[in-house]
Amino acid sequence: MGLNDISDNYKELFPGIYSYIRCRVENAESAEDLTAEVFKKALQKRATYNSCKGNMSQWLFGIARNEVNLSYRKKALRRVVSLDFIFGPELRDPAPGPQDGAEESEERRRLMRALAKTDSRERDLIALKFYSNMTNREISSLTGLSETNVGSILHRTMTKLRTELRGSDL
């Protein structure tokens, strides 16, 4: 694989890689830095890419997962996931008012408390599924879990989050 292979796929794969990383780290600046590091490492290690083991997207998401995990070990960052992965951007008011900011902030706190009750594997699968728009099959290939196991874990985790969020409304 040459430089052109990565450059040709950069525009297509960048948004998904960035979204996945942004979902897992605390701020946009960290996500931008880690995303740049992913593509830098991909260029450095392009000779190790083997299409028999998966497509380029899977390879890059593997690098992205490793970079995020490395950053946690180095900096002990807290994971922050946007509300959009549960509520969806289409449910947001395009022109929020002042009170909407306070409500969103409270929703974010509730979500962070709910996510804190999930383990790192569950958060990782949620980020891959909802932020990177990966299929269960792609996630399975990337994580080494069976496709059925990925689906089961995601279903249980989403049920757990919904229950926790409903309970925090009381």
Output the domain CATH number for residue 131: 1.10.10.10
Query: Does 93 map to a domain?
Result: no
136 contact partners, CB below 8 Å, separation of at least 6 = 129, 147, 150, 151, 154
Segments forming the whole domain that contains residue 154:
98-170
Q: Are residues 71 and 140 in the same domain?
A: no
Query: Does 151 map to a domain?
Result: yes
State both tokens at 66. 């490793």
Q: How many residues does the chain have?
A: 170
Concatenate the DSSP letters of all residues of 37-54 into one string. HHHHHHHHTGGG--GGG-
Q: Are residues 69 and 107 in the same domain?
A: no
The 10s digit of each residue's pLDDT in 101-134 is 566 677 777 877 887 788 888 988 888 887 777 8
Query: Does 88 map to a domain?
Result: no
Q: Are residues 120 and 60 in the same domain?
A: no
pTM of this prediction exceeds 0.75: no
Task: Answer yes or no: are the C-beta atoms of 128 and 17 closer than 8 Å.
Answer: no
Q: Are residues 102 and 44 in the same domain?
A: no
